Structure 1
Amino acid sequence: MPTTANDGVDLYYETTGGDRTDETVAFVGDVGYGAWQWGWQHAAVAGPYRSLVADLRGSGRSDAPPGPYSMATLADDLTTVLSDAGVRSAHVVGAGLGGMVALAAARNTARVKSLVLVGTAARGDDLTLDPLWGAPDDPATLEDSLVAGLSGTFVDERPAALEQMVEWRASEDADRAAWDAQAAAVHDFDVSEELYEITEPALVIHGRDDAVWPVERGERLAEGLPRGEFLGIDDAGHLVHIEVSKRVNDELLGFLPDLE
């Protein structure tokens, strides 16, 4: 599988689906999570689109250099991966931290065609992310942190799915030092006064039961983007793209240009 490097840091990514590099959908993940979190979405877009899923530095099979990490560095990692994959510009889907990376890349580069921003915000200075932390070697904390990111309905009705996600997280997620390094990028990020500069079409999706990234942040983000559209989903938490994946996939495919 492909690996590229940015300033000596190895970055892992995978591509699947169509071979048109000019119609690539790139997925950028949330704090600490490995690429498993996009299993529902990348399969949905692969076909007419080429799907690209990358592990953030600190997560999965990418290197985990000492932190803290800056948003500029993470956005540069994204553009490095796109360049290595032969992609001049992509439709970028980002969750949480990944949404902020997508915003930074859209503001400062020409690499972004459109944005789908899931459970994210234009600023992160007063967010408390600790409920989402789970130690990869401690299944109990992994489960607790998933409960914090999901709706109560999902937790009660899908225990087998919760157990499977604990296994994926144990093998792919960031350790504490790398998690803190990624979280630092969230806390230092603020483009709330510069959103008018990001003119790409943008769909902002937010679970209305998100207990960590308040839904009001998503609403304000969509309002501030010149071509922003907001979609709030009832009875869904921070990991809305996982717990109501079919709905999110339908919205994603409806938002992306029809290539057929």
Structure 2
Amino acid sequence: MPTVSNDGVDLYYETAGAGETVAFVGDVGYGAWQWGWQHAAVAGPYRSLVADLRGCGRSDAPAGPYSVSTLADDLTTVLSDAGARSAHVVGAGLGGMVALSAARETARVDSLTLVGTAARGDGLDLDPLWGAPDDPDALERSLAAALSPSFVDDRPGEVERMVEWRASEDADRAAWAAQAAAVSDFDVSDALYEITEPALVLHGADDAIWPVERGRTLAEGLPRGAFRAVEDAGHLVHVEASKRVNDELLGFLADG
């Protein structure tokens, strides 16, 4: 599978399907497993591209600090290697910030789908999302912070599978901390007017980590932003409410 180097950091990605490229950028610490539901939904009518952030999965994990701007440069490096002049970018949490940065700093973004993210990262407590990849109990506890209580209670088999995926793909503590610091340092709230691409902001109404109000404020600040709250869903809304998110995403792409 393809790997491309950005200033000596090897970045792993996969593609499937044909057509306009839809690139997925992940949240703090999570491997590419988080996009399994969306990747399968778009690969066909579109070309799906899923990359491991630096620090996760099969990408290199250099010592920090990381910045959102650096991660956006990683994204455009991957797009170039994949032969994509531009892409519809779907980002969750940190990945949403990367998407915003890429849209502001480059002409490589056709549209934005921003999932459980915000225009600024100050004041967010991301620690409940951390789970050591070699500690299944910690991984399960941290998933409970990212999902709604009803999902955790009603679908234990899916939680168990996520624990297994996290154990093999998620970031170690140092890389997780570097990614989390990039979130804390990010603030584009005063420059949202510069980001004129069509933007759909999706947010779990029960997100206990990234407050839903930040998602609503983000959409209001974007010139072409639209906001959708997904009821009864937590921070990993694209995982636990994947059908609703996929419907919203595919409808948005079709209207674009």
Q: Give the TM bin, normalised by the shorter chain.
A: over 0.9
| Structure 1 CA distance for aligned equivalents of residues 67 and 24 of structure 2 | 19
Q: Are 2:33 and 1:24 aligned?
A: no
RMSD: 0.8
| Structure 2 CA distance for aligned equivalents of residues 117 and 7 of structure 1 | 27
Which residue of the partner structure matches residue 4 of structure 2?
A: 4
Which residue of the partner structure matches residue 15 of structure 2?
A: 15
Alpha-carbon spacing, 1:206–1:258, altered in 2? closer, same or farther (3 Å): closer
* Matched position secondary structure for 1:194: helix
Q: Are 2:192 and 1:195 aligned?
A: yes
Which residue of the partner structure matches residue 99 of structure 1?
A: 96
Which of residues 235, 238, 242 in structure 2 aligns to 1:238? 235
Which of residues 204, 209, 212 in structure 1 aligns to 2:209? 212
Equivalent position amino acid for 1:35 in 2: A
Which of residues 119, 122, 132 in structure 1 aligns to 2:119? 122
Structure 1 position 258, deviation (Å)? 6.1
Q: Are 2:133 and 1:136 aligned?
A: yes
Structure 1 position 48, deviation (Å)? 1.5
* Number of residue pairs matched by the alignment: 256
Write the mapping of 1:125-164 to structure 2, written as runs, cut at 5 A. 125-164=122-161
The alignment's TM-score, normalised by the length of structure 1, stands at 0.97
Identify unmatched segments of 5+ residues in structure 1.
none
Structure 1 position 6, deviation (Å)? 0.3
1:26-83 deviation line (CA, Å, top 9, x unaligned):
0000000000000000110011200000000000000000001011100000000000
Equivalent position amino acid for 2:159 in 1: L
| Structure 1 CA distance for aligned equivalents of residues 179 and 237 of structure 2 | 20
The alignment's TM-score, normalised by the length of structure 2, stands at 0.99
Q: Which runs of 4+ in 1 moved over 4 A?
A: none
Q: Are 2:50 and 1:48 aligned?
A: no
Structure 1 position 257, deviation (Å)? 2.6
| Structure 2 CA distance for aligned equivalents of residues 178 and 189 of structure 1 | 17
| Structure 2 CA distance for aligned equivalents of residues 27 and 131 of structure 1 | 23
Which residue of the partner structure matches residue 170 of structure 1?
A: 167
| Structure 2 CA distance for aligned equivalents of residues 122 and 44 of structure 1 | 27
